Amino acid sequence: MEYAVIMAGGIGSRFWPASRKEHPKQFLEVFGRSTLIQNTVARLNGLIPPERCLIVTHERYVEKTKRQLPAVPDENILAEPISRNTAPCIAYAGVTLAERDPDATMVVLPADHVIGDVQAFHDVLNVALAKAQDDRSLVTIGIEPDHPATGYGYIQYDGPDFDEVDEPTAYPVKTFAEKPDEKTAERFIDSGDFLWNSGMFIWRADTILDQIEEHLPDAHEAFEPVRAVVGTAQERERLERAFQNSPRISIDNGVMERSSDIFVVPGSFGWNDVGDWKAVYDQNVQMNNDDDQGNVVHDDQPALLHNSSRCYVQSGERLVALVGMHDTVVVDTDDALLVCNRENAQQVKQVVEYLHAHQFEAYV
Amino acid sequence: MEYAVIMAGGIGSRFWPASRKEHPKQFLEVFGRSTLIQNTVARLNGLIPPERCLIVTHERYVEKTKRQLPAVPDENILAEPISRNTAPCIAYAGVTLAERDPDATMVVLPADHVIGDVQAFHDVLNVALAKAQDDRSLVTIGIEPDHPATGYGYIQYDGPDFDEVDEPTAYPVKTFAEKPDEKTAERFIDSGDFLWNSGMFIWRADTILDQIEEHLPDAHEAFEPVRAVVGTAQERERLERAFQNSPRISIDNGVMERSSDIFVVPGSFGWNDVGDWKAVYDQNVQMNNDDDQGNVVHDDQPALLHNSSRCYVQSGERLVALVGMHDTVVVDTDDALLVCNRENAQQVKQVVEYLHAHQFEAYV
């Protein structure tokens, strides 16, 4: 059976002040009135029902997750006692699923992405699922790039240039590349066989557990004791030890880059990883949520934009007025306000670091 | 005896959202922790004590005025039943003072200006007072201009260029000029005998009442009946009729431009009429309240300015963070937020007009 494993452990400090330690990005209503994690579950409709969606998140977000996703059964919310990286998260989901259904296939998805063309996304996932089930391969999704982005990792594959491919197809992966500099990114784009690494994976639970055993024996050893107690009173205690003993490593570095039998399905379905407020603005423009001057006001909140253009405004109860402003992000919350040049959106992370370092924990 | 008549009837919509109909500019703490009207009274210290300061304001601001100026006697707060222009305001103060002290001289001052060099200001006022008392002239203060401003009226006088004058002196006024266009303003500056019209006037109460009788007979007729009932229970009723019957006209248009015996004392004492948020920023820079990047944060409020320069931030309880912003004004209040390009500060008035026109009265 197919299951989704949605990774929702992130903090998303680049979405400050909307995102906080207690209310991170995946739980935000970034587009319209449903949250990113709600959208992630909803877009699997027709492929994987909520009853077969598992959410892996930090303990502190379990209640919030349950409230936002009432259709997902409580036992499908997997609580991480400590935030590690993606390899422990996937090992935890892997042992849980393998124990519940020895024939389980996992579609591993980040909780905070946006996808424009859901049908195209399903088509790609179906090809990936078939490959993972029939050949017991590790499969990942690669996004056909439309510009030389430096903010993503890249995947090189062995096959025709992606713009010559009509039907979703699984191709062998040649290499994984870290986030490149600008020149390298341009070379990647020109080559025609580099894709953006989406962080989405498809594999059988037993396949990934075998691969973890082979490439990350410490992680295997840490999580193997959990398997026997899944769903029992002992799980919490063993889990804590497992997370403490497991290496802190991403599944990309720990398994994907070390394994030889990896496939990628190139896809083009309006993907956006919504990495910062600039990406939120861009995605809104993509969705035609902007006015004649290119301004986007979140959720039709009260805002007055006078001689202003290409701005993004997200407010709460307060009336926001912009006069003579351009390319500016304004995010207003109860206790904190951000006014940011759209091109500096990545630096919001530094604001949060500053707040941490200067005893402004109440605002983090 | 000398009295100050401080005109405090304005609404100051260019200071939205800090200024509101119920809380206009003169009652704001724009610089430090005292308000503009408090500063206006305080800077007369040594020349005119608070017991001889009269405040003319709209009825709705009487209580606020009393609270902010406890040293000013209650009977010195003159309540206008309706907001007219400056001629009715001065006629009201004139009859009140003439009745209380037949020998009264009035120093008429706007409530919302800033003056850097108080001693130089007093020196100028003393010369103006002597001229008004000795010769029973109408005297006004002209500000020696330092740039071709288009936002002020100008006064041309008969005398040496102002940069050749060392001691404050009263010169005959040749003409009053309305706010000029840029070319005219440049011509004014080059001429050396044009000053900015400060809106400050010095005259005996009986002199201005005579002049009003001559040039504004309707205003004279409206306010003459008030004189006999100053300080009695009948005053309020007669006053309402007086304001209703008086022409709505400025003292400049109604008397100064029509009279032949007007004098001006040129002055240079760091005057700023604080017309908009840009002027607030400039004045703060003048007072060295800016940091190394030219940012001004009002009253040391919590603000975090990252890669930002030449910004003005005024907030309340909320933490404000700016990222990559320049030349931007941010004014945050409980229910409304303004983000404004500093060079568009004049347009804030249009925001308030829009709010009036679109049923946002709660925010005005």
Residue whose pair of structure tokens reads 């760091």 in the numeric block: B270
For the stretch B57-89, pLDDT in tens is 999 999 999 999 999 999 999 999 998 899 999
Residue A10 has pLDDT above 90, yes or no: no
* Domain match, B267 and B299 both: no
Per-residue pLDDT at A236: 92
Q: By residue range, what is the domain housing residue B247?
A: 2-272
Among candidates B317, B337, B344 on the partner chain, residue whose Cβ is nearest the Cβ of A324: B344
Contact B327, B308 (CB under 8 A): no
Is there a contact between B306 and A350 if contact means CB atoms under 8 Å apart? yes
Query: Is residue B277, in this structure, part of any structural domain at all?
Result: no
Q: In chain A, what percentage of residues exceed pLDDT 90?
A: 88
* Domain match, A260 and A296 both: no
Residues of A with CB under 8 A from a CB of B: 16-17, 302, 304, 306-307, 315, 317-325, 328, 330, 332, 334-341, 343-345, 347-348, 350-351, 354-355, 360, 363
- The residue of A16, A333, A337, A358 whose CB has the most chain B CBs within 10 angstroms, and thus the best one to mutate to test that interface, is A337
* Domain match, A124 and A249 both: yes
Query: Is residue B26, in this structure, part of any structural domain at all?
Result: yes
Residue A327 has pLDDT above 70, yes or no: yes
Q: Is B195 left (phi over 0), alpha (psi -120 to 50) or beta?
A: beta
The confidence band for A12, taking pLDDT boundaries of 50, 70 and 90, is low
Tally of domains in chain B = 2
For the stretch B160-177, pLDDT in tens is 998 888 899 999 999 999
Is there a contact between A319 and B354 if contact means CB atoms under 8 Å apart? no
Is there a contact between B17 and A336 if contact means CB atoms under 8 Å apart? no
* Domain match, A143 and A231 both: yes
Please give the Cα distance from B144 to B136 (Å, whole number). Answer: 24
Contact A92, A56 (CB under 8 A): yes
The confidence band for B32, taking pLDDT boundaries of 50, 70 and 90, is confident
Query: Residue B84 is encoded by which pair of tokens?
Result: 């007219």
Residue A29 has pLDDT above 80, yes or no: yes
Give me the DSSP letters along A44-76: TTTTS-GGGEEEEEEGGGHHHHHHH-TTS-GGG
* Domain match, A260 and A348 both: no
Instruction: Centre a 10 Å sphere on the Cβ of residue A81 and count the other Cβ atoms it contains.
Output: 15
Contact A124, A265 (CB under 8 A): yes
CA A144 to chain CA centroid, Å, is 17
* Domain match, A227 and A298 both: no
Query: Residue B301 is encoded by which pair of tokens?
Result: 């409020």
For the stretch B306-325, pLDDT in tens is 999 999 999 988 999 999 99
Per-residue pLDDT at B103: 97
* Domain match, B141 and B112 both: yes
Q: Which pairs count as long-range contacts for A297-303, CB under 8 Å and 24+ apart, including other chains? A: A299/A29, A299/A32, A299/A33, A302/B360
Contact A204, A132 (CB under 8 A): yes
Contact A77, A55 (CB under 8 A): yes
Q: Which residue of A has its CA nearest to B348?
A: A323
Residue A284 has pLDDT above 90, yes or no: yes
Query: Is residue A32, in this structure, part of any structural domain at all?
Result: yes
Cα Rg of chain B, angstroms: 21
Contacts of A58 (CB under 8 A, 6+ apart): A9, A79, A80, A82, A83
Cα Rg of chain A, angstroms: 21
Query: Residue A193 is encoded by which pair of tokens?
Result: 């066989």
Residue B12 has pLDDT above 70, yes or no: no
Residue B302, burial from CB neighbour count under 10 angstroms (0-12, 13-18, 19+) = middle
Encoded amino acid at A160, one letter: P
Q: How distant is the Cα of B12 from the closest Cα of chain A, in angstroms?
A: 17
Q: Which pairs count as long-range contacts for B305-312, CB under 8 Å and 24+ apart, including other chains? A: B306/A347, B306/A350, B306/A351, B306/A354, B307/A344, B307/A347, B310/B281, B310/B342, B311/B342, B312/B277, B312/B280, B312/B281, B312/B284, B312/B342
Nearest residue to B136 (alpha-carbon basis) of B205, B198, B69: B205
B223-250: b (≥16 Cβ within 10 Å) or e: bbebbebbeeeebeebbeebbeebeebb
Query: Is residue B132, in this structure, part of any structural domain at all?
Result: yes
Query: Is residue A54, in this structure, part of any structural domain at all?
Result: yes
Question: Which residues are bridge partners to B320 per DSSP?
Answer: A337, B303
* Domain match, B319 and B257 both: no
Question: Which residues are bridge partners to A195 per DSSP?
Answer: A155
* Domain match, B39 and B174 both: yes
The confidence band for B254, taking pLDDT boundaries of 50, 70 and 90, is very high
Nearest residue to B329 (alpha-carbon basis) of B282, B364, B271, B361: B282
Please give the Cα distance from A124 to B50 (Å, whole number). Answer: 81
Angle of helix A217-227 versus helix A205-215 axis, rounded to 10: 130
Please give the Cα distance from A148 to B341 (Å, whole number). Answer: 33
For the stretch B111-136, pLDDT in tens is 999 999 999 999 999 999 999 999 99
Report helix, strand or coil for A197.
Answer: strand
Is there a contact between A336 and B318 if contact means CB atoms under 8 Å apart? yes
B272, B300, B328 - which closes a domain: B272
The confidence band for A299, taking pLDDT boundaries of 50, 70 and 90, is confident
CATH number, domain with residue A116: 3.90.550.10
Angle of helix B217-227 versus helix B86-100 axis, rounded to 10: 40
The confidence band for A63, taking pLDDT boundaries of 50, 70 and 90, is very high
pTM of the predicted model, to two decimals?
0.88
Q: How distant is the Cα of B83 from the closest Cα of chain A, in angstroms?
A: 28
Please give the Cα distance from A331 to A336 (Å, whole number). Answer: 8
ipTM of the complex: 0.87
Query: Is residue A140, in this structure, part of any structural domain at all?
Result: yes
- Which residues of chain A have a CB within 8 Å of the CB of B354? 304, 306
Nearest residue to B363 (alpha-carbon basis) of A286, A62, A319: A319
Query: Is residue B286, in this structure, part of any structural domain at all?
Result: no
Report the DSSP pairing between strands A262-267 and A138-143. parallel
Q: Mean per-residue pLDDT for A175-194?
A: 95
Per-residue pLDDT at B57: 97
B272, B300, B326 - which closes a domain: B272
B13 compared with B104, residue with greater pLDDT: B104
Contacts of B105 (CB under 8 A, 6+ apart): B1, B2, B3, B129, B132, B133, B202, B203, B204, B205
Among candidates B319, B320, B336 on the partner chain, residue whose Cβ is nearest the Cβ of A318: B336
The DSSP code for B253 is I
Return mean pLDDT, chain B: 95
Per-residue pLDDT at B166: 85
Q: Mean per-residue pLDDT for B250-259?
A: 95
* Domain match, B177 and B320 both: no
Report helix, strand or coil for B193.
Answer: coil
Query: Is residue B282, in this structure, part of any structural domain at all?
Result: no
Please give the Cα distance from B138 to B172 (Å, whole number). Answer: 10
For the stretch B182-200, pLDDT in tens is 999 999 999 999 999 999 9
Q: Is B327 left (phi over 0), alpha (psi -120 to 50) or beta?
A: left
* Domain match, B93 and B159 both: yes
For the stretch A241-261, pLDDT in tens is 999 999 999 999 999 999 988
Q: Mean per-residue pLDDT for B27-38?
A: 91
User: Rounded to the nearest 5°, which phi and psi values hold at A303?
Assistant: -150, 150
Nearest residue to B145 (alpha-carbon basis) of B179, B111, B109: B179
- The residue of B297, B301, B320, B337 whose CB has the most chain A CBs within 10 angstroms, and thus the best one to mutate to test that interface, is B337
The reply to whether omega before B17 is within 30° of 0 (cis) is yes
Encoded amino acid at A239, one letter: L
Please give the Cα distance from B34 to B28 (Å, whole number). Answer: 8
* Domain match, B338 and B240 both: no
User: Rounded to the nearest 5°, which phi and psi values hold at A305?
Assistant: -115, 110
B272, B306, B335 - which closes a domain: B272
Residue whose pair of structure tokens reads 């400090």 in the numeric block: A13
Is there a contact between A336 and B320 if contact means CB atoms under 8 Å apart? yes
Contact A215, A254 (CB under 8 A): yes
Report helix, strand or coil for B11.
Answer: coil
